[in-house]
A = this chain, B = another copy of it.
Amino acid sequence: MTPTPPLMSRRSALMSFAGAACAGLAACGRAPVAVLDPLPSWNDGAAKRAILHFADAVGAVNGMPADERIAVFDNDGTLWTEQPIYIEAQFTLDRARQMLREEPSLAANPPFAALASAGESLSSLDAQALGALAMATHANSDPEGMEAQVRAWLETARHPRFGVPYTQCIYQPMLEVLRLLRGRQFKTFIVSGGGVDFIRAFAQATYGVPPEQVIGSSGGYHYEMRDGAGVVMKTPEPGSVDDGAGKPQNIALHIGRRPLAAFGNSDGDLEMLQYVSTGSGARLALLVHHDDASREYAYDRDSEVGRLSVALDEAAQRGWTVVSMKQDWRTIFPAAPRGPGI
């Protein structure tokens, strides 16, 4: 099998070639050729136009200084699939089941007891039980150990409906937005309700977002010397819930300024989109609306996962961009498996 070069390299090469061709034609006094579409997976429509208009406004001669160009992206349901359950919830369940198999006495522990009695059924495991399981399975590991666990799991786990690795259940149109904004000197951050160490395990290879540009929910950290080396361990202390008002609060703590663009898909992104869209100058606030049951999922006001109701109403009032997956996205998922280092 011929290795496929990462998508970004291929596109960069095409763009450079197009640029060189334009320069050459201009030197011959001829009209430049049409510029390549930076959003080929987007159908023409209001959403695509809003994104391109924003990118042009910020990047214009009188646009925002490069230092101010910050864009924030929710992860679950915005950059990758969150149905039938959050991917991190599946990781937690798989990890907890593995721990139970290796150490059956754990079943005496409350969070594991709930899992043991639930069996393969998830319905009796509510969000609180899942949170307790996440704490129990993640605690007392260092972030590097956690990363290794997540990566090993992502190698073998498959999405129950699509049958592919979860890192292929990412949205090709959003990858193009990430790339477009980076090309305009934006720093792209993930601001997710998911666990920060979980996301950091794959964000660089999957989205090109480095660990220090991932903000997420977190517990405590404890530094200690262990066998002559300094290590930071995760602790089960309550930390920060990066959802709702927690998102702009964590943006203030981690980034220290109001971003220019925000991308979300659920009520948990409402405050982040408000915060970003009510600043001055060119702004972009965008919601991905999951309305494509045949190619992905259709859900909004009544969904347990990724409920979109208050934010959908506010989008209409404030003029935010609402993306119809069905109508605005030509493709949903990347065509080819994605290697590391995109």
Chain A interface residues (CB < 8 Å from chain B): 67, 70, 143-144, 187, 189, 196-197, 200, 204, 210-214, 218, 221-225, 228-232, 245, 248-258, 271, 274-276, 278-279
Contacts and interface: CB of A to CB of B under 8 A. Distances in A.
Contact of A252 (B70, B143, B224, B253): B143
Contact of A248 (B223, B253, B275): B223
A256 B197 contact: yes
B218 A253 contact: yes
A255 B211 CA distance: 6
13 contacts: A67-B204, A143-B257, A212-B254, A212-B257, A214-B256, A218-B253, A221-B250, A221-B253, A223-B275, A229-B279, A230-B278, A232-B248, A232-B275
A103 B30 CA distance: 69
A266 to B, nearest CB: 17
Nearest to A271: B223
Given A253-B218, A253-B221, A212 B187 contact: yes
B211 A257 contact: yes
Nearest to A221: B249
Contacts of A187: 212
B229 A278 contact: yes
Given A200-B256, A249-B222, A230 B143 contact: no
A282 to B, nearest CB: 16
Task: Find the residue from A218, A228, A255, A279 having the highest chain B CB count within 10 A.
Answer: A255
Contacts of A271: 223, 230
Contacts of A253: 196, 218, 221
A232 to B, nearest CB: 4
A196 B257 CA distance: 12
